[in-house]
Structure 1
Amino acid sequence: MGTKEQLKEERDKIVKGLEETYRRLIEYKKQKKSPMIVVRNGKIVAVDPNEILPTTLYKRHAG
């Protein structure tokens, strides 16, 4: 396996880990009935975790 393939494999593992972490965070916030604190349009806001999708997909750029 070449370096490029190794980097792609590692990147894919990292992305899967981030997606799983996000899913677990949303699940935890729903259990605790705790708002998600996020930045929207440069402002810090509290969002009800029930309004957030339980999964997200990382958008990979070509290249």
Structure 2
Amino acid sequence: MKNSLKILRSQKGWSQGELADRLDVSRQTVNAIETGKYDPGLPLAFKISTLFDCRIEDIFLYGQ
């Protein structure tokens, strides 16, 4: 699944580690999400969307 997490993170000026700390996940998890190797479950997807103040479907692009 494609996503815009790396773009959103960069706009905030955060490293993967800083984002990981805010989401209470590992830096490896953030990297895996950004590279499309891991699709987060709903609880984490909601946490991400809340952190960036946007809708889940604005971050994660299903089928594209």
Q: TM-score range by the shorter chain?
A: under 0.3
Q: Higher relative contact order by CA 8 Å / sep ≥ 6: 1 or 2? A: 2
Question: What TM-score, normalized to structure 2?
Answer: 0.28
Between Structure 1 and Structure 2, which shows a larger proportion of strand residues?
1
Question: What TM-score, normalized to structure 1?
Answer: 0.28
Between Structure 1 and Structure 2, which shows a larger proportion of helix residues?
2
From the CA coordinates, give the structure whose radius of gyration is larger.
Answer: 1
